[in-house]
Amino acid sequence: MTENTRADLESWFRYADELGLGPYYRDRAASKAFPLGQAAAPALSAPATSAAASPQFSAAAPRRSPLSPLPAAAPAKLMPLIQSPAGPSLFEERIENDSLERIRADIGDCTRCRLHKARTNIVFGVGNPKAELVFVGEGPGHDEDIKGEPFVGRAGKLLTQMIEAMGLERSDVYICNVVKCRPPENRLPEKDEISTCSPFLARQLTVINPKVVCCLGACAAQTLLETNQGISRFRGEWFDYRGSKLIATYHPAYLLRNPAAKGEVWKDLQKVMSVLGLQPKLRH
């Protein structure tokens, strides 16, 4: 190596150090989220059923999309984005004898973040407390805020159709959100709101301990996987989340705006069905 090259490299390293890039390169391999390789979980890579077995919610035939999952040989590298709150974290600590009732009681009439100001009801979650499958959305909308129940508006009706197409009833699964209060104007929850509220979600998932967590949309997936990568980079891939299998798919509200994406979502749900041993509900 010439002296000039060495000087250039040293200058670059100093510059990178000043930018604080050291932790980025040091820690990125240690991300908590990692795709489950096909070799480790071969059954997860094959759809349970033919996409031709069209579910009731699937108006569009499955088709190849530029948003198809990355091949197993080139898994998405997930970068940490959302940090756990400073100090002892509910993300890290397992609470002795925790229960959904205790979590709800701990939330109380919560004012921990600014979302409490405009809410009508705290939307905690509904469904089977021993569910094998939990759906996680981002936050309540207008209808959910009024009723105090997640996914009861138009997007909620579509989610119910999706659940029924999987051969389940809504009461078989558990449904909740990252934040429990409606963001004004249906905006996305902000980072500090997510970091304040999401420990309650983490506790809900720990208590329920489902086989599969299905994230609906980027917010839920990015929160649980602690990444800022776009959902199209890892949608339909399997990850480990504290012993549960986690998969991300598009939010039903997105499907209302982009019905052509229903085929991609159905492929993701088929993967979930394969893990849970479910058969699709066919049209009569």
Interface with ligand SF4 (CB under 6 A): 107, 110-113, 115-116, 122, 179-181, 193, 196-197
Shortest Å distance, C-beta 110 to ligand SF4: 3
**Contact criterion met (CB below 8 Å) for 135 and 216:** yes
Residue 188 CB, nearest approach to ligand SF4 (Å): 13
Q: From CA 280, how far away is CA 6, in angstroms rounded?
A: 62
CB of 90 to ligand SF4, least distance (A): 12
Q: How many CB atoms are closer than 10 A to CB 185?
A: 7
Q: Are 166 and 272 in contact (CB under 8 A)?
A: yes
Shortest Å distance, C-beta 247 to ligand SF4: 25
Identify which of residues 111 and 228 has a Cβ nearer to ligand SF4 in the complex: 111
Q: Which strand (E) or helix (H) includes residue 239?
A: strand 238-241
C-alpha 266/C-alpha 253 separation (Å) is 15
Kindly state the greatest CA–CA separation across the chain: 77
DSSP string, 138-170: S---HHHHHHT-SS-SHHHHHHHHHHHHTT--G
Question: If you compute the radius of gyration of the chain from its CA atoms, what whole number of angstroms results?
Answer: 20
Q: What is the identity of the amino acid at 89?
A: S
The smaller minimum CB distance to ligand SF4, of residues 99 and 111, is found at: 111
Is the CB of residue 119 less than 8 Å from the CB of residue 197? Answer: no
Q: Please report how close the Cβ of residue 197 comes to ligand SF4 at its closest, in angstroms.
A: 3
- Contact (CB, 8 A) for 136 and 35: no
- Cα 278 to Cα 211: distance, rounded to the nearest angstrom: 13
Cβ proximity to ligand SF4, 119 vs 251, nearer residue: 119
* Residue closer to ligand SF4, measured from CB, 156 or 183: 183
Q: Which is nearer to ligand SF4, 179 or 202 (CB)?
A: 179
How are beta strands 174-177 and 244-249 bridged, if at all? unpaired
- Of 179 and 278, the one with the shorter C-beta distance to ligand SF4 is 179
CB of 114 to ligand SF4, least distance (A): 7
CA 176 distance to own-chain centroid = 11
- Nearer of residues 89 and 111 to ligand SF4, judged by Cβ: 111
Shortest separation between residue 109's beta carbon and ligand SF4, angstroms: 9
Q: For residue 163, give the amino acid letter.
A: I
Q: In terms of CB distance, is 175 or 197 closer to ligand SF4?
A: 197
Query: Residue 262 Cβ, how far from ligand SF4 at the closest point, in Å?
Result: 30
